[in-house]
Each structure stands twice: as C-alpha cells, then as structure tokens.
A and B are shown apart, each in its own frame.
Chain A
C-alpha cells in the first residue's frame, strides 16, 4: 500500500511517469498512471491523487484524505481524469516510490 506525505511533494510528476512505465513496460507516457498530480498553477496549489480499488487517496497541502465513490474532491474538475484510471494494484517495490526524488511516497 502507498502512503503519501504531501509536505514532501515538489510537484515534479515523476510518480506519474514511473507508474505508467510499470504498466506499459516499454514506453514512457503519463496516461496509464494510477497517480495524477493535481495542480492549480497560479496559486501554486498542488497535490497527489491516487486511484485505489475502493476510493481515491488525496495528498494535498491541507493533509491526507480519502475520497469515497460519489464524493466530490473539490478539485474544481481538474482531478476528474483520475476516475478514468486503473486503480493501484498495490505492487511491491513500486516504481512510483522508487522514482519519487523526495520520499513523498512510501510503501507500507
């Protein structure tokens, strides 16, 4: 299972690319990732959304929350694409953790 410490996130998006590579194996893309970086750029508000089997884990500046099916994330629509993604399969030695440069993501 992945744990998020949003205070350590720098918004680099390496996790998205790494998760997509785990799924695709031979290409870099960001579109297969179970993790999406949500960003409101002009006010520098950003955080991580992780799609899981039953819910979405939100790691945002105000803390970590779990969003259940049917709940709204108040991300202004910018976080909607996460609902279309495949859920995290809780792989071990996860690529998103291995390539996070700051330790924001942890496998627990």
Chain B
C-alpha cells in the first residue's frame, strides 16, 4: 500500500506510545501527507502530526517530502521536510506520528525499526547543529535524520524555524514552536522498514517513464540567485530528486551551508550581499530561526506570533503526494501520478477522488 505499517501515537504526559495499524480505508479516504495529517488532527485535536506522502520514499522522482502539521493561531498549518527525513520517517516503520500533550521535561523521540522511544534529554539549550551531532553520535549512525529545534523553537518565537539535521525546513509558520511547547527537542529517524508495492512491475515502469520526462525537462541545477553559482561548492539533491536545486556553499574548511532558495532570497531582500547572506543563514539554522523576519538570528529567537502564511495553491497536492513542489516548474502530469498511486496501493482512485481529498488540506 506504499506505506510502512504503523502510526505512532505518542502521549508525552503518560510517556506512552500506542502503535496503530494503518488501515487501507485510512489511505483511501485521505491518501497521505498533508491530507492524512489533517484527518489525524481531527481525530487527535491539539496534536502535532508528522506524516509521509503516499509516494514518499519510493522510486517516484522527487518523493522526498514529509509533512509536519499543527494548529497555529487557530489555523491548521503545514511545513514540508525534505532532504532524507521524509524517507527515513517512512522507513522507521511509522508512516505517521501523532504527538499528544506536553512532556514534563525535555525529550527527544527516536523512531527506528517499528520502535518509538521517548528519551529524556539534556540537549535543551544546545543549538541545532550541536544537537544533531550529539544525537547521531549517541545513536551511532551518521545517516540518522533529525527534525530539531534551536533556541527559536525552545522560546516559542514567532520566527522559529524547524531544522532538518543542520538545514532549515520550509517552515513558514513557526511550527518549531509546536515542538518547543511540548518540550520536544528533536525527532530522530532511521530504519530498515519495507514499503510494500501492490504491483511492482507496473509501478516501476511508470516511475521509469516519469524519470525519463524529468531527464529531458531538467536542464539546470542550483538556485537562481545572482552570485551564488560562483561560490557554490557542489549542487545537491534531496532523496531521489532529478533536480539538484540545493547549492552547498562552504563557510569554513570543514563546514558550509545547504541553501534553501526562499531563505537566502529573504536575507538578500533584507539588504545583505550573497556571501553575507550565506553566513547569516548558517547562524539562523543553528539558532532555529526564520530569516524571513530579519538578519539578526539572536533577535529572532524572541518574537511575537506572526500572521499565518497559507500554503501556495499548488502545494496541497504535492504535500499530499509526498513529492517536492520544486518540480512543479517541470510540469508533473497528475494523471501519471494518479496511475502510480493506484498501481502502488492497489486502490482504484479517480482524479475526482484525489481532488476531493486535496480540498480538505
């Protein structure tokens, strides 16, 4: 059905995790990603939800996306996390995670091999880079993916930003603060899970054909920001993406910053040149704050709540499928994706069914 088997329902107050089987009906009614998160949020009001799209972690090009969902200022908000975190969440055995209540002391969640551990931690106060380094060291694997908060999330700043390992997510609504409110410093993910495919032969042929389209259509790499190519070390792609849109810029001998276009553009719009902007972006990611709101990371860790920024019109579909919306510019045929979902899940969804589900996001 294109998912690993379980939903983890984490009760922080009771320090207990319930493992709920994912039923076919749940996928048929909500497909996945943002739409499934909305359904879970209705079932568990006030929770923080992590979810994967129906195609996340598969051979469908661009299928790197996982979604965080929570209510902010009375509005349901979503943030995507890409890189390798969406895939590792699904492979942890938990395609969805519901986080209820508030921990009495800071904790992190460790999702691996169909086990969800709630671990008390003294990492509160550490920046995101230190936190990821320590967690990877403690848990013994460099490829563990983290969703982590810095000082911004801890202080529940209106400018807080969720960070994946070391790099900022497209968190436009301070969902990092939803982690901070619950005393959750990080969620860590890695696993040996298996994502079942209903009709592997058809699914594989369809994804290969789709990849052929992208091979022809994608003629560029990196982010189109003036001066950025000249300082780029390498162009990186998130999991299984045909478009390496992430410029990596070295800021020291042994470290650098993985660029997310929106964040760097924001800093340049505040008056910084591209080199300065890269350096400040690294600091923003360490503090877990969103450069949309200014150029001083330390000032951004305490900011009042900001107005909700809704999803862009095309994003609800991508966030439900688990495909990165950056690929929208290369024309993603929705009929092809529908066929992929049906061959992968064994469902018989129509375009109208999909549209109805997307309208719930």
- Interface residue tally on A, bucketed by range: 20 to 34
- Nearest Cβ distance between residue A44 and chain B, in whole angstroms? 4
Which A residues are within 8 Å of any B CB, using their own CB?
10-14, 17-18, 21, 24-31, 39-44, 61, 78, 98-99, 101-102
Q: A42-B129, A44-B248, A102-B242 are in contact. List 20 more A-B contacts (CB 8 A).
A: A10-B235, A10-B236, A10-B237, A12-B237, A12-B240, A12-B244, A13-B87, A13-B240, A18-B59, A26-B197, A28-B59, A40-B142, A42-B166, A44-B258, A61-B234, A99-B59, A99-B207, A101-B211, A101-B240, A101-B242
B residues 279-338 with Cβ under 8 Å of A?
Answer: none
List the A side residues contacting B165 at CB < 8 Å: 41
| Bound Cα distance from A17 to B241, whole angstroms | 12
CB distance from B283 to the nearest CB of A (A): 14
Residues of chain A with a CB closer than 8 A to B116's CB? none
| B196 at the A interface (CB under 8 A) | yes
Q: Which of chain B's residues have a CB closer than 8 A to the CB of A43?
A: 250, 254-256
Q: Is the CB of A101 within 8 A of B129?
A: no
Q: Contact: B59 with A14, CB < 8 Å?
A: yes
Cβ–Cβ < 8 Å partners of A25 in chain B? 200
Contact of B197 among A27, A39, A44, A101 (CB under 8 A): A27
Query: Could you say which of B59, B221, B244, B248 contacts A21, with CB atoms under 8 Å apart?
Result: B59
Please name all residues of chain A whose beta carbon is closer than 8 Å to the beta carbon of B142 when the two chains form the complex: 39-41, 78
Q: A44 and B241 in contact (CB under 8 A), knowing A21-B59, A25-B200?
A: no
Docked pose: A12 CA to B244 CA in angstroms:
8
What are 26 inter-chain pairs, A to B, with CB distance below 8 A?
Answer: A10-B237, A10-B244, A12-B239, A12-B241, A12-B242, A12-B244, A13-B240, A17-B59, A17-B240, A18-B59, A21-B59, A24-B194, A28-B197, A29-B91, A30-B91, A43-B250, A43-B254, A43-B256, A44-B234, A44-B236, A44-B248, A44-B250, A99-B208, A101-B61, A101-B214, A101-B240
